Amino acid sequence: MKHTVYEVKLNNGGQGLLINVADASVMTMELNFRAGEYLVSRSKWETPHLMEHLLLGANKAYPKARAFQAEFEKNGAYSNASTGTYDITYEAECADFEWDRIIKLMIEGISHPLFLEDEFQAEAGNVREELTARSNNHFRHLSLALREQYGFYVMTDQERLKEMVNVTTADVKKHYKSTHSTSNLRFVIAGSLPVERRRVIKRLLNNLELPAGNGRIELPPEKPIKLDKPLYIHNPTVDNLYFYIDTFLKRRLRDPEVDALGLINTMLTETLYSRILGKARERGLVYHVGSGFGQASTSSNWWFGAQVMPKNANALFNIIIRELRAVFNGKLKEEDVVDAKQYALGRYQRSGQTVHGTATGYSFRYFFDDEVEDYYKMPERIKAVTRNRITSVSQEMFTDDVWGFGALGQAKERQLNQLHDKLEYLWTNKPQKLD
């Protein structure tokens, strides 16, 4: 959607983006605090999550959560919140005609929560149900277990359920006071935002009744470590093999590198004709192969994952290794790169069709490191990717020799060790014969 971005720095230390989408019929808002799980001890891990569940509940103006939600939703508005390792984000979307009412309710909820004991007990039950449901997701279980082994601040849902009993309302209140300050606030608000509306929003957020704090809380300096053997989670109820392969670079990627890695990621797994997924499906080896990349404060990560029958795992790994080696050796056709760029451009166009989609295109990066993406330059950035840049960044993602392989299911340990040994050649670059 056509839009204009205004970066706002408030007098109270908060800052964010106001995105004017002319004539939009809805407004979306995200208010983010650096308040995630890395700020608490492992025994109190669920404190931020429980706080997030309680915060848009009972408050000074509405003494019961149901009363607050009834008022919030009476014209069809939506609210939600999410907790991660680093941040808590409160979000809302509403019709344009009630934007000012909804933003005031959001501010009320964030500024004056009551954290009632009876609502704490109820939400503890809801969180327990949520974690139990998540724990049935084998990919999630494996991913979290792996990231814990790499040294990141994570905990599996199974462990979180055990530790929940340690959290009290006093812990929630303490965490709220230590993290919810104006200088720790970042926000992205998008919709029809002419000058006068922007002034009103700035005034409301400048008057947020929270302590000033000491600035944005810093991200943790997580440094991933290499796993010398496969991480194996035995689960006799699972017939196929869930797996992840991770490689890490000991630095953050620059934007041109991000663009190049995104393009080769598309070429390898994101379409049914891609180099890994397409070939694997052509041979009937696997239904889906996924891959992606992300960044922490001091590192970058590229991963591949799938669920595959143990009898097909060796053949699938051969395809993954061959295709990655082909990329390392610059064996990419120019026409394939051009096709991938067209795919990426189309996906870019689809991503910004709604007000919410437009806001999301800015919020992740802004909340992570205060950087404002230039959305309109994305087509230019995609077109600037070259085969040489793709080869270079793909090679470098494997040069630091920080990697790991994990699996969940009931495969034989011997097979997992064989797959691990096969993968190791990607980092050593030694000659390798694939059967």
Domains of the chain, CATH where assigned: 4-206 (3.30.830.10), 231-428 (3.30.830.10)
Angle, CA of 279, 281 and 285, to the nearest 5°: 100
β-strand partners of 307: 242
Supply angle C-alpha 289, 380, 293, rounded to 5: 30
What per-residue confidence (pLDDT) applies to 349? 84
- Given strand 241-249, what is the order of strands in its sheet? 231-234, 402-409, 241-249, 300-308, 289-295
Nearest residue to 15 via CA among 162, 126, 181:
181
Give the number of residues written for the chain.
435
The DSSP bridge pattern shows strands 300-308 and 26-33 to be unpaired
Residue 431: CB atoms within 10 A of its CB come to 6
How far, in Å, CA of 142 to CA of 76, rounded?
38
Sign for the pseudo-dihedral over CA of 393, 396, 402, 408: positive
Q: How many CB atoms lie within 10 A of CB 121?
A: 10
Tokens read off for 84: 């991660």
Instruction: In whole angstroms, give the CA distance from residue 65 to residue 50.
Output: 14
**C-beta atoms surrounding 182 within 10 Å:** 21
Which portions of the chain are predicted below pLDDT 50? none
Q: What is the pLDDT of residues 369-407, one digit of tens each?
A: 999 999 899 999 999 999 999 999 999 999 999 999 999
Helix count (H) and strand count (E) of the chain? 16, 11
The predicted pLDDT at position 393 comes to 97
Alpha carbons 286 and 317: distance in angstroms, whole number: 11
Dist. CA 34–CA 43, nearest whole Å: 20
Integer angstrom CA distances of residue 426 from 37, 318, 326: 34, 11, 11
- Residue 331: count of CB within 10 angstroms of its CB: 11
Interatomic CA distance for residues 403 and 398, integer angstroms: 8
Cα–Cα distance between 222 and 148 in angstroms, integer? 11
Cα 259 to Cα 296: distance, rounded to the nearest angstrom: 17
Residues 6+ apart with CB under 8 A from 32: 87, 88, 89, 90, 185, 186, 187, 188, 363, 367
Q: Assign residue 191 a region (left: φ > 0; alpha: ψ between -120 and 50; beta: otherwise).
A: left
What is the pLDDT at residue 433? Answer: 65
